[in-house]
Structure formats: structure tokens, C-alpha cells
Chains A and B, each alone.
Chain A
Amino acid sequence: MGSQGGFGQSKEFLDLIKSIGESRSKAEEDRIVLREVETLKVRLNDPNTPKYKLKEYIIRLLYVEMLGHDASFGYIHAVKMTHDENLLLKRTGYLAVTLFLNEDHDLIILIVNTIQKDLKSDNFLVVCAALNAVCRLINEETIPAVLPQVVDLLGHQKEAVRKKAVMALHRFSQKAPGSVSHLVSNFRKKLCDNDPGVMGAALCPLFDLINADVDKYKDLAVSFVNILKQVAERRLPKSYDYHQMPAPFIQIKLLKILSLLGTGDKKASEQMYTIVGDIMRKCDSTSNIGNAILYESICCVSSLHPNPKLLEAAADAIAKFLKSDSHNLKYLGIDALTRLIKINPEIAEQHQLAVIDCLEDPDDTLKRKTFDLLYKMTSSSNVEVIVDRMIEYMISINDSHYKTEIASRCVELAEQFAPNNQWFIQTMNKVFEHAADLVNAKVAHNLMKLIAEGFGEDDDTADSQLRSSAVESYLRIMGEPKLPSAFLQVICWVLGEYGIADGKYSASYIIGKLCDVAEAHPDDDTVKAYAVTGIMKIYSFEIASGNPVDLLPECQSLIEEMLASHSTDLQQRAYELQSIFTLDARAVKKIMPMDSTCDDIEIDKNLSFLDGYVQQAIENGAQPYIPESERLGISSISDFRSHDVHEPSTHALRFEAYELPKPSLPHNIPPVLASSTELVPVEPSYVIDIPHPTSAPSASDTGSSELKLRLDGVQKKWGRPTYSSPAPSSSSTDLVKVQNEAPRPDSASSSKPKTRDSSYDSRKQQTEIPPEKQRLAASLFGGSSKSEGRQPPSQKNSKTQNHTSDKSRSSKASAPDTAVKPSQPPPDLLDLGEPSIASSVPSVDPFKQFEGLFDFTQETTPASTGGVDGASKDSDFTSLFADMSLSAQSNIDPNPESNGLGGSKVEPTSPQLNKGPNLKEALEKDALVRQVGVTPSGQNPNLFKDLLG
């Protein structure tokens, strides 16, 4: 068949296509198409156009539409053409309507009748054309019109028709599952159709149905296994072969179905082992399609009930994929690995270098897939490396879709596995800086909560260090332009809460900064609200501590601006801030206590402390309050709460409000208002006089008594952002606070960031060097797969803490001498995997590790080389234990050596090291932080789940 002019097109048509093919620019192409559109408009509307010409015009119209131009003027002609008697014209008409229209188009209604008629046609080609149109054009409402006929066609003598009927039913069940739910048995029947094509078509709807509800189809498992067996044994006609594989597409579909049926079902899985194993053996791994089946088998194996033999075969196949030169296969290998490590974390380790290669591959797709893998295998021991990599990558890309995903993954991993709070905050800062508007708002609250609660136990120094470092980093960051709103909110909150806590910055400096923020973002009410509340806090801290306060001019102007704001929320905050200045120190201290965000706030929801006033008001003739539930239609208090958000909707929807008897509104508010007006002249004694001074009147219920009355609503509205949660675990009382203040030896935390950074730096500098890669591999894999038997490749003290606590929990609660343990260099070496590496490059590699760890300077080299022997010995030693579940001894034994190394020799350069965390402390801290929600990895139950399968 010739390609040009062979199908009866006119010269005109060929010229059109040619000229478009040769056009040099988009503009030229557009010109040609527009000219064509004009021609077609005239010709199509000409009643004298002969039919065979009309067909060509319709096809030209399709071409126009395909090139992205509007061809809607001709749709009706395509519809008309479906009515034609001539088969060729009819089919062209159907083809055109399926391409032009979608199921919601107005013209559909004109076609339904034709379709109904054509479904009954004697000519199976007409029926096929109509069925094609059914798939594309019938919507939920018109399904009943054709459904009976389609069902009838399931028994048609031509297999092509049966197949298309199955596909049409499948389409119906996708669009409106309810409409065909009674016909599901038909799909089952079609599985036994004589024609393999029909059977294959029935697999698709069955796959969907099984996916939706596995249990209903468990009985089919045997049938599917049988079919797959027949296919694999080449019992299908030769014409189904593709590249010497028997019906590979059917095989793949069947494998998908089997993996659904076998998931979590030991019995069903056992039926499948043999056939899946056979298929994996038979796959021709030199062809693409063979690999596609192999890959699908691996996916299947990974979801079946684990079978050691199959897993082994799968691991082999993955190894082949990863070693291949083809990027496609590497990609699949990584993907398959991701699936398999859920069952068997060990296998990742064999492929560490391949994985690292993929991570550094210039191919973005492969890189992302590898990040998926890393995400799945993250544990406490490698979280830093992985998240660091992810953030690095996140910063480098523009694709907002993927950015969102990777940002939320970073957050998730950081929250789940964060080795310490400092790191968590720094990580969050990075994420926020680059993708704050893409992550969930809850993340910002978690961050604030963490900063507020700090380590949450008896180490106040560490807490305040954490906070001041947060303040400092924020002061530095906030100068940058274009910070995301969510991040600014966090910054404002932290500055307000802790900006002057350590006395390093003056109140006016911080206030000035906050004013700047508010000014720089005139359109962002939320940020402004955070800023003004921050200012308010600083002022009240100043007032409370008796320092003289003067209102900064820029602050004054800010307040004035906000008093006139359209946002009632901002107005209210501005009023509150103003009223602070009228109060004396005692009152302010009460309403805005220093550092009280973590305290629980007991809310007297009944406002019982107002009983007196209410009583008085009622005695004075006011109407008693009618509870909300007994009223109708009054916009409820809750509407106050979510004022900003719901205002429009309340107005739009709540018509009843206007029908309400007017009196109730004024009557039930007055008592409240009355009392509030009484209270307005604020006396210092007032606060003290309150019967139940709410145990910690929080930051937000500021001075004005008006606020007090709306305490409930205000709390909810402000409360969350301002002090994100009254942590349920750390009971509110002062008692806890006292505990918190119990001194703790200058903790390692302060030194952590530094050590870590330096370790990263050193790593970055040498990215290209193979040992480097090995180390990265070690830090990624070592811990994840064998962290039970080994120490995680900790690069810093914090991990040690987690780890120790880990150990102590799993094995022995009391290990007294671990207290003196410095952070452990040996684990790093251990995690290099093979001790031989350590010894073959003795002076370079381990040294780098130490450098990273301790900020070594050159002159300490002898010390580190000295350590190498010990270290490699350690690794030998532990490797003996690798397979045993970890015992405390195996852990402690190497320690004295490391102790000698790290403790004595390193001391001069990094004094903080010998103050390593003690075991008990770590344990307690861990438990506490866990309650707080930022789980330090080691303890994470998920980790163990992952590890143990």
C-alpha cells in the first residue's frame, strides 16, 4: 500500500499536509490551519458537497483539531455522518465523534439513538464501530439506554464484538460502578471464553474489581493460576506470541491479578509459587518484553506471602537489572528493590554501590526513583544523609509537583527519624525556606511546638541553646527576600516567644525586626498577625520584668495601621497590644507569662469566674443567657471562632438567621457585654481577683477583659498557631517546669551542628573519590540492614544517644559504663561493610570519618591511625555477631577501645565529647521527645518492623 494518495484523498489535502509539514514556524502553521478552517467552514456548510468529499473534509477537520485549533463548527457534520448508511462514511463519522466529543458534550444526545440502532446491526463492523463509540461517549446517564444491547452482544458470534462488549462493560463499571454491579458475573463467564482475546479483555475489568474488593474473588485464584500456566506453556495460538514470548501482555495482567489475590493470603500464595517461579525461570532476559515480565514477577513475589526460594530468584533478577547498562533496567531494578526491601532489607546492601551510582546519575528519572528507594529504607541511622541529599535535590529542581512530594517526604522522615531536635529544626528551616508553601501547615506547628518544648526534660540549658540558635538563624534568614508565608509565621512566633529570652538581643531590636516583617508583607494578614502577637509578647515580657518600655515609632504606626485594618483579627490584636501598655507589671506577668507555651491551659469553659457579674447583671434586670443549643439559627459562637474563614459561607447559606425572633439576640449577649464593660477599666487587682485564675492564662488572652469573655473562641482561634499544643504528656503544672529546669551538664547538643556540618563538608569535597562513595554507601545501608547487629553509622554524638537508649531498651536496662562512652567512631568503620577496606586504606578513610566526627585537625592524625587498628578489630568482632540479635555485650566490648580513642585523645580538640549523654538520660529524653511527636529514630517501631520484615 502506498502511503501518499493511496486512499483517495484529493491533491488539496495532500498539499495541506505537506505545507504544514514544511512550515518553519508555529505562526506559519497557524496561518495555514486558519486558512484551512475557513475553507472547511464554507465547504461543510454547502449542501451540495458530495458525500465522499464530506468524508475527506471531516478528516481534514480532525487534522485541524489535532493541531490544536478549534474545530467545533464541524462537530455536527461528524454526528450527521454517523447516521449514514455507507459503512465507510459511518465509520469515519464514528471515528470523528469519538475524537471530537467527550461524554459530557451536548451533541451526545443526538448520537445515542444512532448507537442504539447500530448495536443491533447485522454487520459486525458496524456493531464494532458503535461499541467503540459507546466506550468513549456514553456517560452515566445514558448507560441504561445501551446497557441491555451491550450485554446481549457478550454472546455475539464474532470474538471481536464480544471483546469490545467486554471493554464497553468495563468502561461502564469505571464510570458508574453501580450501574453494572449486577453484571459482574459476566466478566467471570468471559474468562472462560473460547477466544483468548476475549479472555484477555475480561482480565482488565476483573483486575479493577479485585483491586476494589479482593475477598469476593478469592475463589478465582485457581483459575488465574491455570490460565497463566496455559499461557506460559504456550497453549495459546502462535499469533499471540510477541518476540517469542507467549502472550506477554496477558501474562503481565495475570501476574498483577495474582499479586492482588496473594497479598497477605498464605494459602492463595502457596498456589501461585510454582507458576510464578516457572515464569521467572522461563523469562528471556535479553528482550525487553522478557524483562517486563520478569519485573512484574518480582512485583508479584514481593506482594505474595514470602517464599524464600522465590525471593532469592527475585534478588538475583534485581541484581541483573542493576548491573545492566540500560537505564531502563536500572530503573526497574531500583523500583523492584524498593518493593523487595519491605520483605528483606538485607538485599539492599549487596547493591549499595549500584544504588549510589543511580543516585548520582545525570538521569533525573533514575534519580527520583532512587530517592523513592532511599525514602523507603530510611532509618534512624541514615536519615541525615538521606534527608540531606533530598533537600539538596529539592533545591535544585523547579518541578513544583515533585518538589511538593519530596518536601513532604523530607518532613515526614525528619519527623519520624530525627536524631535530635537541633537537626530537626535545621532541616525544617531548609525545607521551609525552599518549599514552605508546598508543605502541610501542620508541619509549621510541629516545628514551633518542638522549639517550645525543646528537649522537654531536665535540661534547660540545652533548650535555651536550641532556642537561641533558632532565634539567631531566623534573624539571619529573615532578611532574605521572598520567604514563604508559613516560614515567616514560624519566624515571627519564635522571635516573639524567645527573641529576647537569652538577653543577647534587645527588645527594641527584635520588635524592630518584627515590624519590618509586618511592613514587608502588607498583604499577608496571617504573617502580620503573627508579627504583632510577637511584638506583644516581647513588650509584655519587658513590662513584666519591670524594664522601662517605650513604644517604637514604627511599632506605633503599625498599630495604628492595624486598628484600621479590614481584618477584625488584626484589629483585635492591635487593640490588645495597645491595652498591654496600660497594665502594670503584675497583671502583664499574669496574662503573658514568660515561656509558658508548653504549659497546659485549663480553660474554664463555663466561665464560672464570671458568675458573680452575671448574677449581678441579672439582678439588674438583664435577660438570662440562653445556651446555644436552645436557640435556633443564631450564628453560633463557633462562627465567631472561624470568623475569617467561614464568614462568607455563613452569609451565603444561613438564611434562617434572619427569621429568628429578634429579641433573643440582644438578650443573650447583654449579660456578657455588660460584664465586659464593667471590666474594661482595668485594675491591676482584677486579674488577681478572678476566682479561678485560669492556670496559665496564655499568651493570647491578653490584658483586655473583653477578651477574657470570649476566651473560648479566642483560644481556639489564636491558640493553635500561637502555642501550638498544650502537650498532653508534659503535664502543665509548674512541677514539670521545675523538673525541666534541673540542670544538665553542658550537653552535646551544642556541638552537634558543628560536627555534623563539618562531616558533610568533608564529604562533599570528595564526592568523586571512591572511598567517599563507599562511605556514603555505608552511611546509607550499613544501618538500615544490619543495624540490629551493628552500630548505626553515626556521624555524631546524637545518634549515639539514640543508639544507646536503643540498646538499653532492647537488651539491658542498666549499662553503667556506657555513660562515659563518647560518640563511637567504630560504628562508622563497621558500616563500611568490609573490614578489609578499613585496613587497606587505613590512614585515609577512617580518618575522614573522624574528621567528620570530631573536627579533627591535622595533628591528631596519629591518634586516628592508632584508632584504626582498634576499629577494624571492632568490626571483625562485631561481624561475628552480625547474625545474632544484638546483645549488650557485643556492644559494650568494643567500647572501651573506642573510649580510649575518642575520649582521651580527642579531648583536647573537642572538649564537649567526653560529656556524651548518659544512658538513662538518653532513654528518658527519648521517651519524652517521642511523646512530643518528633520521634528520635532509634525507638521508632517502624524501624523494627522494617528490619524484621
Chain B
Amino acid sequence: MIHFVLLISRQGKVRLTKWYSPYSQKERTKVIRELSGMILTRAPKLCNFVEWRGYKVVYKRYASLYFCMCIDQDDNELEVLEIIHHFVEILDRYFGSVCELDLIFNFHKDSLVEAAKEQASSISNMIAQATK
């Protein structure tokens, strides 16, 4: 299960968050701080998974933006990596050619993430949904 999704810029600025498990505002700040410290410092060629407090965080960097998803210990990391990629592809299609600014300015469209979470659905379905 995905616990939360974070989009962090390379400077550690939060671009988008989505929490699927309850975290208080304080915890959220802490999580973001901890994770951005961990993930932003990782060298480029290392693997895209980080173990963190008994969870796993899968991240992927697109240009200057890091997409991070926190998942359970026994989830399939590569699959989640692809979900991230899938998500980015969808964003890309939705915005034409997605860039960080798109996300910043349209952060409220994050029901997309919800849709992407429903891994099974097809891209076209999702876009149809998102545009409505």
C-alpha cells in the first residue's frame, strides 16, 4: 500500500504531497525533512529504493523533481517505480509536456495521483477522469 507521495524539488522544496495514511502536520514536516535529507543526498547511480523506518521509499528523479512514494516492506519496488513513471507519463499527456511549473501551478489537480494509484486503470481512462 502507498502511504504517501511526495514531490520534492532538488532544493528540498515541497511541490506536491499526498498522504494516504494519517499523519499530523508535525509528523509530515518531519517526514519531509528526513526523507529529503536522505534522498536528495543520494548519488545518481544508486538504487531508487531507500529503507526508512520499516517502510520503503521508492523515488525517481525527473529533471529537478524527485517523485517519492512510501510503500510497505513487502511491496514490489520495481512496480512502484513504474507507477511513478506511469504517473509522470500521465501528467505528461495531460499537460502536453509536463514540467515542474505545471505541477506547481496545478497542484490542486492531484486527484490524478489518486487515479494513478489505481494501478490497473488504463491511461486514457485516467485522463478522461482527470479532465472532467
- A interface with B by C-beta (< 8 Å): 1, 3-4, 7, 9, 14, 17, 21, 29, 59, 62-63, 65-68, 70, 92, 95, 99, 102-104, 125, 128, 132, 160, 163, 167, 196-197, 200-201, 203, 237, 239-240, 242-243, 247-250, 252-253, 256, 288-289, 291-292, 295-296, 299, 326-328, 330-332, 362-366, 368, 401-402
Contacts and interface: CB of A to CB of B under 8 A. Distances in A.
Contact of A365 (B29, B47, B54, B119): B47
A7 B106 contact: yes
B25 A250 contact: no
Contacts of B40: none
B104 A239 contact: no
Contact of A239 (B95, B107, B124): B124
Given A68-B14, A163-B118, A125 B47 contact: no
Contacts of B106: 3, 7
Contact of B78 (A200, A253, A288, A363): A288
A203 B119 CA distance: 11
Given A331-B49, A365-B47, A68 B28 contact: yes
The 5 closest A-B pairs by CB, nearest first: A200-B120, A327-B47, A239-B122, A292-B78, A249-B119
B129 A160 contact: yes
Nearest to B79: A292
B96 A1 contact: yes
Interface of B: 13-14, 16-18, 22, 25, 28-29, 32, 43, 45-54, 76-79, 81-83, 85-86, 94-96, 99, 101-102, 104-108, 111, 114, 118-125, 129, 132
A295 B101 contact: no
A328 B58 CA distance: 10
Contacts of B120: 196-197, 200-201, 203, 240, 247, 249-250, 253
A231 to B, nearest CB: 10
A364 B18 CA distance: 27
22 contacts: A1-B94, A3-B101, A65-B25, A132-B111, A163-B118, A167-B118, A200-B118, A242-B123, A248-B82, A249-B79, A249-B120, A250-B120, A289-B78, A289-B79, A292-B79, A295-B76, A296-B79, A326-B47, A327-B48, A328-B49, A363-B46, A365-B51
A611 B54 CA distance: 58
A191 to B, nearest CB: 13
B105 A63 contact: no
B125 to A, nearest CB: 7
Nearest to A400: B53
Nearest to A29: B13
B46 A70 contact: no
Nearest to A289: B82
A163 B132 CA distance: 17
Contact of A132 (B18, B105, B114, B132): B114
A289 B95 CA distance: 24
A237 B51 CA distance: 36
B50 A365 contact: yes
Nearest to A87: B132
Most buried by A among B43, B52, B94, B125: B125
A368 B54 CA distance: 12
Given A201-B120, A237-B122, A249-B82, 15 more contacts: A4-B101, A95-B108, A200-B120, A239-B124, A239-B125, A242-B86, A248-B82, A249-B119, A249-B120, A252-B76, A252-B79, A253-B119, A292-B79, A296-B79, A363-B46
A3 B105 contact: yes
B78 A295 contact: yes
Contacts of B105: 3-4, 9, 14, 17
Given A4-B105, A401-B53, A401-B54, A291 B47 contact: no
Contacts of B49: 328, 331, 365
Nearest to A66: B17
B77 A288 contact: no
B42 to A, nearest CB: 8
B61 to A, nearest CB: 13
B121 A197 contact: yes
Given A70-B25, A249-B119, A331 B107 contact: no
B89 to A, nearest CB: 9
